[in-house]
Amino acid sequence: MDIDQVRTFLAVAANGSFIEAASRLYVTQSTVSARIQNLETYLRTKLFVRNRSGATLTPAGKRFLRHAKTLLLTMEQARHDVGLPGRYRASLTIGARIALWDAGFLPEWVGKMRTQMPDVSIRSEIGFEEDLMRRLIEGTIDIGLMYTPQHSPGLQVEYLFDETVVLVGTDPDKPWPDENYVYVDWGPGFYAEHSNHFPELERPALLANIGWLAVQLVLKNGGSCFLPQRMANQLVENGKLAFIPDSPRFRLPTYAIYPTNMETGECQQALTALRELVVEMTPQ
């Protein structure tokens, strides 16, 4: 098995077609077929069922899908690490919710790490809790930051701070909830608080899984949404949105997750810089 076989498998699975996969990979259809056949021979099982509509995964193919993604990611990271210029002694991969990258918080953390560890390469990624937790367990992420972590053996969950989630919109004088209210999925904790505070509120017509997307919808079409105050402050200061008066504020705990027994000092240094930043941003 080689990495081209894995990459080809993922392309066929994503596109549901050997022909489309060949087009995306800039190879011939016969090359795609040969790679899949060799991979199936190596794994000793059929991965796809081919029919007129294309190609669908077999049960074995579905089971291999997650492993294939991990294999490809691990190989890409290995190539990155091995190919680091000599001035770098190590690399770190950090992943977090997109809202934590917004409004300067995590970019400032990366800046602190670059200042304190100039000889460490840093890979920054965005993800949701489920994906970040899986990659932490697999060891393809060193440190993850999120709102609703899961507890898993071998991983440490460390509370950092509480986000304050506030309601902002394009028309603060309009009665709320408005028809363009966008419910943002900030996790089960937010859902519980939101439901308890608004028990009579019907299911909103608009939902978004990240705050950035909700902002784009509101700015384009008007409306409102709940955002972390760090994000909201910038939008309000720039005159794009306004705080909705007399609206509740919700608590959104933020956590860092990392291996219990960290193998490198770089992770410890990165966490120290993160904790320092949290202290700096916390009102005295």
CATH number of 162-252: 3.40.190.10
Residue 225 falls in which region: left (phi positive, over 0), alpha (psi -120 to 50) or beta: beta
CATH number of 3-81: 1.10.10.10
pLDDT reported for residue 87: 67
pLDDT reported for residue 161: 93
Contact predicate 193/250, CB 8 Å: yes
Give one DSSP letter per residue of 48-116, joined into a string. EEEETTEEEE-HHHHHHHHHHHHHHHHHHHHHHHHT--TT--EEEEEEE-HHHHGGGHHHHHHHHHHHH
CATH number of 89-161+253-281: 3.40.190.10
Residue 172 falls in which region: left (phi positive, over 0), alpha (psi -120 to 50) or beta: alpha
Locus of tokens 């916390």: 282
What is the C-alpha to C-alpha distance for residues 147 and 100, in angstroms, rounded to an integer?
A: 9
Beta strands in the chain (DSSP E): 48-51, 54-57, 90-96, 120-126, 143-146, 155-169, 181-184, 206-208, 224-228, 242-243, 250-259
229 or 121, higher pLDDT: 229
Q: Each residue of 1-40: pLDDT tens digit?
A: 788 888 898 889 888 889 888 988 888 999 999 999 999 9
Residue 208: CB partners within 8 Å, gap ≥ 6?
Answer: 182, 183, 184, 185, 214, 217, 225
pLDDT reported for residue 224: 95
pLDDT reported for residue 84: 61
User: CATH 3.40.190.10 region(s) of the chain?
Assistant: 89-161+253-281, 162-252
Contact predicate 204/177, CB 8 Å: yes
Model confidence at 172: pLDDT above 60: yes
Q: Each residue of 63-116: pLDDT tens digit?
A: 998 888 878 777 776 666 666 656 667 778 899 999 999 877 899 999 999 899
Model confidence at 237: pLDDT above 90: yes
User: CATH 1.10.10.10 region(s) of the chain?
Assistant: 3-81
